[in-house]
């Protein structure tokens, strides 16, 4: 196991597309004997208002608190849905989770650079080529901005 292995970063938004990206990233991390960083970017309301569903809490919660709960829930459900499929504890160099605030595409690339990532993995809805050209996507924007390879999992 290479001690200086650069991490693989997988960006998740808790969707089914993210689940596929996480499964792919787990397998890549295992094969490359690399640590895995699971990242969720909390939309900065100053740039693009966004919200997270409150799960019945008494009163308002900070977006970061809700996002952390959603990350924990996403990973728990993933583990339940994929028993025996390269679980995070099977990774030779481990896995960590991170939350960042900002514009998703920019922050994913910034965190990947700060972590020294060798690869970024993201899920995509798999729009048609025309829809992607007209509408763009976060995954494509990450690929445009990133100095390291990006794998887009459909």
In a domain, 77, yes or no: yes
Taking every pair of Cα atoms in the chain, the longest distance, rounded to a whole number of angstroms, is 47
DSSP secondary structure letter of residue 7: P
Express each pLDDT in 86-113 by its tens digit: 666 667 788 999 999 999 999 999 999 9
For residue 62, the enclosing domain spans 8-153
Global model pTM greater than 0.85: no
SS3 for 121? strand
User: If you search the block for the tokens 């965190």, which residue do you land on?
Assistant: 111
Using DSSP bridges, classify how beta strands 119-123 and 8-11 pair: parallel, antiparallel or unpaired: parallel
* Residue ranges, the chain, pLDDT below 70: 1-3, 45-61, 84-90, 126-136
Comparing C-alpha atoms, which of 16, 60, 67, 12 is closest to residue 42?
67
For residue 1, being part of any structural domain is answered with: no
Count of domains for the chain: 1
Is residue 2 situated within a structural domain?
no
49 in a structural domain = yes
Q: Is residue 3 part of a domain?
A: no
The enclosing domain of 127 has a CATH number of 3.40.50.620
């Amino acid at each position: 196991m290479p001690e200086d292995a650069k991490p693989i970063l997988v960006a998740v938004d808790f969707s089914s597309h993210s689940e596929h990206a996480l499964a792919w990233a787990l397998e890549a991390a295992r094969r490359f004997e690399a640590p895995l960083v699971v990242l969720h970017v909390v939309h900065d309301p100053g740039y693009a208002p966004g919200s997270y569903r409150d799960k019945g809490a008494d009163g308002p919660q900070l977006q970061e608190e809700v996002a952390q709960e959603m990350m924990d829930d996403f990973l728990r459900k993933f583990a339940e849905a994929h028993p025996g499929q390269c679980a995070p504890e099977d990774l030779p160099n481990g896995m960590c989770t991170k939350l960042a605030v900002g514009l998703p595409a920019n922050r994913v690339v910034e965190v990947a650079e700060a972590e020294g990532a060798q690869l970024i993995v993201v899920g995509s809805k798999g729009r048609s080529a025309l829809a992607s050209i007209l509408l763009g996507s976060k995954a494509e924007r990450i690929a445009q901005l990133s100095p390291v390879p990006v794998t887009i999992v459909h």
